[in-house]
Amino acid sequence: MRYNDKELQALSRQPAEMAAELGMRGPKKGSVVKRRLVKLVANFLFYFRTDEAEPIGALLLEHCRVSREEPSGFSISFVEDVDRKYRFECCSEEQCEEWMTALRRASYEFMRRSLIFYRSEIQKMTGKDPLEQLGISQEARFQLSSLRA
């Protein structure tokens, strides 16, 4: 994926849906757990050294799997490269569950499926297409409808 470094840094400064200091271990063999400030913004998970303002990395949360690793830990792995796994350690099982839920909901694919589901539910209840009421073009409505198949 192509991206602009300055735009990514600007995104990392946006208000976070979640942020916490977590233990993090990268995908390289022999990597050790390090304390990182982890910040979820849209569908990016940024990670920072605890004493720095600029991110040292970012994970695009698309085509990834969030899995429980231990009672208070989880991992993120990617469909196209299952060996590339990032592990995170939380302070509690509850914090771990909150992070896993938020990360699973952060992907574009989850948001797209939610939009399709709620659009359908609103249409059943009201008999009207909510996208039409918002002035969204017929072409865009067709594209969303064809995604259901």
Tens of pLDDT, residue by residue over 74-101, are 999 998 887 889 999 999 999 999 999 9
Whether this prediction's pTM lies above 0.85 is answered by no
For 9-26, write each residue's pLDDT tens digit: 888 998 899 999 999 999
Q: Whole-angstrom Cα distance, residue 118 to residue 115?
A: 5
Give the pLDDT band of residue 144 (cuts 50, 70, 90). Answer: low
Query: What domains does the chain contain, in order, with CATH numbers?
Result: 5-106 (2.30.29.30), 110-146 (no CATH)
Q: What is the 3-state secondary structure (H, E, C) of 17-50?
A: CEEEEEEEECCCCCCCCEEEEEEEECCEEEEEEC
d(CA 2, CA 68): 30
Q: How many residues are given for the chain? A: 149
Please provide the average confidence, as pLDDT, over all residues in the chain: 85
pLDDT at 45 over 50: yes
Q: How many CB atoms sit inside 10 A of residue 43's CB?
A: 18
